[in-house]
Amino acid sequence: MRLAMGIEYDGGRYHGWQRQSHCDSVQERLERAIGRVADRPVEVVCAGRTDRGVHATNQVVHLDVDVERPLYGWQMGTIQHLPRDITVLWVRSVGEDFHARFSATAREYRYCVVNRSARPALSAGRLTWWYRPLDADRMQEAAAQLLGEHDFSSFRGKDCQAHSPVRTMESIRVTRQGDHLLIDVRANAFLHHMVRNIVGSLFAIGSGERPVEWLAEALAERDREAAGITAPADGLYLTAIDYPSVFDLPTQPRRPLFEQVGGFERLSESC
């Protein structure tokens, strides 16, 4: 039997999604917890591997099991054996034609920034602090130049293992909510560090260090050295994975927002 699961996690204390022999990972914790429920080792396949420190509000995985458990039992039993910063949002039974990675048609990320002179305390590690003033309108104007199908080599991490640097950017939006900037990106797939490298380049434009046209010029260079810095991992969230409707999975975007509650900042969710 093949199962699909929706996973939420705070990636702050993990060395990324992927299981590694020398350090802690989200995949290892999840497989260990599911294995306790299955009473045997299991291996999961995810929709998109997140880097060290990156979070997820709706990661999707699949796994094959040969034991019977109620779906609710898989969910609650797994949660019982997980640390507090990882949880299972939902579990569904799917056919063998479903693949968490290869069946996906699009992915969405949200990058959250607090833009003010004072660094955050309560939300540290869950957003990126940028003390220089950022112009969201300039950033949006520049970001629009990335829409469509392009060679994104200029925003590709050096350790990227993708066979092709060509990706289709379906949407990118920069919005401001008080001291916070939210950068939402949607594409058919992403290269290693692609979102963080785009955001780092937008920081240079938003602060006035670079002109709006520079982003398109950097894209055309197809050279990582032509673009901006790699933005920190803290503010990055994998928020949605799209699949064909035939699979009927609850994968609507779950985007983190930052709200002022009683004078304090907290992380909340908006579906």
Q: Compute the C-alpha angle 225/190/138, nearest 5°.
A: 60
Q: In a 10 Å sphere around its CB, with 0-12 CB exposed, 13-18 middle and 19+ buried, how is residue 30 labelled? A: buried
Using alpha carbons, select from 182, 266, 234 the residue that is nearest to residue 12.
Answer: 234
Residues whose CB is less than 8 angstroms from the CB of residue 245 and which lie 6 or more positions away in sequence, other chains included: none
**Amino acid letter at 49?**
R
Polymer length of the chain: 271
> Catalytic residue numbers?
51
Tell me the C-alpha distance between 48 and 68, whole Å: 27
Evaluate whether 5 touches 98 at the Cβ level (below 8 Å).
Answer: no
Evaluate whether 183 touches 248 at the Cβ level (below 8 Å).
Answer: no
Evaluate whether 53 touches 127 at the Cβ level (below 8 Å).
Answer: no
